[in-house]
A = this chain, B = another copy of it.
């Protein structure tokens, strides 16, 4: 069992009618606010107007950067950083899903660097500082609202790379489940798959770690499995949206990680899918996860898969471990592809094996993904093929 440092200082306003706290919170960081958002859905829902009203009420100066892409591009980061420097921005306000918040974080870091932000993402140049980020979440998925991570894409090089810095953890996040009522069925399903993947990447670990965290993770998984279908059927079901939203934060804010040090498996494989084909991150994870499970299931890993099947899906714990394990993977597949209605194969997305070799090499970064079971580039290529 490894030691760990736990530090999640984000202040969270959870629930309805918390936006009156936005102005005072922003004011703590200064007067000049850069509002960062995506394609304008927040204008349709009326959230944009509410946010602007609160900023005006607080007497703050508002600047804007819109058009953040679903897999945010480094070009947007450079543009945002330029505005921060030119307008001497004090605080970034991200209103949107994980992509928008990720973008704001990298913009905040790039504001302190005069060169191409891609240097920071690729770690050519270390991040030294970050402007404070405040977020208003509109999609339960990535957990970006409560962690230090930012994933940025570069379409020129087909790269999608995650970067992190303690200064990038949002200082304050507003989590109002009603802001996710308008999220489409497809995006709700992708978000649920993303949350599930974040938990499974930690849950399936070779490290022996805290029993209590396994208990918590199984509870979070049961929560997503219970409420994602409800949110699909009743988009404005507050209870379902609230459970998904808070679970999305818990899945990847450090609560459940404990001392587990191992690399994640499906995320680096998925980042290549998104980098090459610009597909939705959660969808890529959904397609990959059950195939990865089948691939790594063997006598050395079966016990954890059995535990997963029994404690998450209620599979009979008296079954043979291998039988129970396979049943668990099957039920997860059914959940992702039938209940959530996500596409089952890469072929359905028009993806063939053209780039699998290169993608696999990149996913392994010239070495091995040291996850639950170590994967070399041939393993990764095999898993991609299983997804066709």
On A, residues with C-beta under 8 Å from B are: 1-18, 210-212, 215-216, 218-220, 222-223, 226-227, 238-239, 242-243, 246-247, 250, 255, 258-259
Contacts and interface: CB of A to CB of B under 8 A. Distances in A.
A8 B146 CA distance: 12
A220 B227 contact: no
A14 B258 CA distance: 9
A242 B14 contact: no
A11 B4 CA distance: 11
6 contacts: A1-B242, A2-B15, A3-B17, A211-B239, A215-B220, A215-B223
A276 to B, nearest CB: 35
A238 B210 CA distance: 10
A220 B226 contact: no
B1 A239 contact: yes
Nearest to A146: B6
Contact of A14 (B6, B16, B215, B222): B6
A-side interface mostly: mixed
A-B pairs with lowest CB-CB distance, top 7: A3-B15, A215-B219, A212-B223, A6-B12, A9-B9, A7-B11, A212-B243
A11 B3 contact: no
A8 B247 CA distance: 17
Nearest to A249: B6
Nearest to A227: B211
A10 B5 CA distance: 11
Given A3-B16, A7-B9, 13 more contacts: A3-B15, A3-B17, A4-B14, A5-B12, A5-B13, A6-B12, A14-B259, A210-B243, A212-B243, A215-B216, A216-B216, A216-B219, A218-B219
A206 to B, nearest CB: 16
A4 B194 CA distance: 25
A57 to B, nearest CB: 20
B212 A220 contact: yes
Contacts of A3: 13-18
Contacts of A255: 255
B212 A259 contact: no
Contacts of A16: 3
Contacts of A258: 14, 246
A210 B220 CA distance: 11
A5 B17 CA distance: 12
Contacts of A223: 211-212, 215
Contact of A259 (B15, B210, B219): B15
A176 B305 CA distance: 30
A214 to B, nearest CB: 8
Contacts of A259: 14-15
A223 B211 CA distance: 7
